[in-house]
Amino acid sequence: MTTPVALTIAGSDSSGGAGIQADLKTFAALGVYGASAITALTAQNTRGVTGIHAVPAEFVTAQVDAVFSDLDVGAVKIGMVAQALSIDAIAAALARWSPRYVVLDPVMVATSGDRLLASEAVEALRTKLIPLASVLTPNLPEAAALLDEPVASSEADIEGQGRRLLALGCRSVLIKGGHSEGAESTDYLVDSDKTIALAAPRVATKNTHGTGCSLSSAVAAGLAKGEGLEDAVRNAKTWISAAIAAADRFSVGHGHGPIHHFHRFY
């Protein structure tokens, strides 16, 4: 039996709720073996980020090469990349190893509002990583920032931004609607042929730390298991909704607490 494997390339969250830690928890919860390449160490908790230490780009390369040279990676998730040099290193490594699926979560700002990507690196993200992505997973503010546009407020505006993001070279875009208003949180999956709206009831909780990281990791997990993109996205949305709904079972920290990755088990 082949073990599905996914690799996350992202930053570490010392409080365990987002980043590499959230990605590995997501992979494990969904039956996928997780490997990791760490791009940055962050000193953070549920209230905010107090420090960022970027990993040298050549060591990011060394981690990615070590994983690919030995493990049969079914999908790659990219989260916090921190700096332009790391983006160059990741793009070169992906070109070298040609993974079948790349899920790119363009992490720029933490749930707490702290900036996680140097402003001068945004253009490198646009031009070097987005064209390699099977699916790009921005939230509404990230989609707007990537396009230098206002945050979309209507379904038509969201779909339009999705189409303009496709023009940057990715194969599909999943725009996450968690930052919108209303009784439902609707995500939009946009590809060259169609737009699919995926709605779920909005959960009233402040414990949403790591939601974006975990959703993109859940999509990568589905792709690593052989699911088609639409099924992987639908299954990820169902899982993340349940993880948010179960978040208040935890009492962790004094700010935006984590979601419950293992809600199915305890």
- The pLDDT tens digits of the residues spanning 139-163 come to 999 999 899 999 998 999 999 999 9
Whole-prediction pTM value? 0.95
Catalytic pick from 79, 210, 222, 257? 210
Q: What percent of the chain has pLDDT over 90?
A: 76
Residue 195 appears among annotated catalytic residues? no
CB 25 within 8 A of CB 33: no
Catalytic pick from 16, 186, 213, 222? 213
Catalytic pick from 16, 74, 79, 212? 212
Q: Is residue 170 part of a domain?
A: yes
Q: Is residue 216 part of a domain?
A: yes
Residue 150 region by backbone torsions, left for phi larger than 0, else alpha for psi between -120 and 50, else beta: beta
Q: Is residue 228 part of a domain?
A: yes
Residue 42 appears among annotated catalytic residues? no
The token pair at 100 is: 């079948």
pLDDT at 202: 81
User: CB-side exposure of 76: number of CA atoms within 13 Å?
Assistant: 26
Residue 79 appears among annotated catalytic residues? no
Q: Which residues pair with 11 in a beta bridge?
A: 40
Which residue carries 């570490």 as its tokens? Answer: 12
Q: Is residue 265 part of a domain?
A: no
| Domain count for the chain | 1
> What are the helix (H) ranges across 36-109?
57-68, 84-97
Confidence of residue 68 (pLDDT cuts 50, 70, 90): very high
Determine what percent of the chain falls in helix, strand and coil, rounding each to the nearest 5: 40, 25, 35
- Choose among 10, 16, 6, 71: nearest CA to 38: 10
Q: How far apart are CA 123 and CA 127, in angstroms?
A: 6
Tell me the CATH number at 45. 3.40.1190.20
Q: What is the pLDDT of residues 101-148, one digit of tens each?
A: 999 999 877 666 666 677 778 889 999 999 999 999 999 999 998 999
- Choose among 14, 31, 35, 15: nearest CA to 23: 35
Q: Which residues pair with 188 in a beta bridge?
A: 175, 197
Catalytic pick from 25, 211, 222, 257? 211
Mean pLDDT across 191-207:
88
Residue 170 appears among annotated catalytic residues? no
- Choose among 25, 111, 20: nearest CA to 67: 20
Q: Is residue 130 part of a domain?
A: yes
Q: What is the pLDDT of residues 181-191, one digit of tens each?
A: 667 789 999 99
Q: Is residue 82 part of a domain?
A: yes
User: CB-side exposure of 116: number of CA atoms within 13 Å?
Assistant: 28
- Choose among 164, 82, 174: nearest CA to 133: 174
Residue 46 appears among annotated catalytic residues? no
Q: Is residue 264 part of a domain?
A: no
- Choose among 97, 104, 116: nearest CA to 43: 116
Q: Which domain holds residue 13?
A: 5-249
Catalytic pick from 25, 128, 176, 237? 176
Q: Are β-strands 135-136 and 102-104 bridged in parallel, bridged antiparallel, or unpaired?
A: parallel
| Mean residue pLDDT across the chain | 92
- Choose among 91, 139, 150: nearest CA to 116: 139
* CB atoms near residue 43 (< 10 Å): 14
Residue 186 appears among annotated catalytic residues? no
Q: How far apart are CA 20 and CA 79, in angstroms?
A: 8
Q: Is residue 55 part of a domain?
A: yes
Mean pLDDT across 52-59:
96
* CB atoms near residue 135 (< 10 Å): 26
Q: How far apart are CA 247 and CA 163, in angstroms?
A: 33
- In this structure, what are the phi and psi dihedrals at residue 244, rounded to the nearest 5 degrees? -70, -45
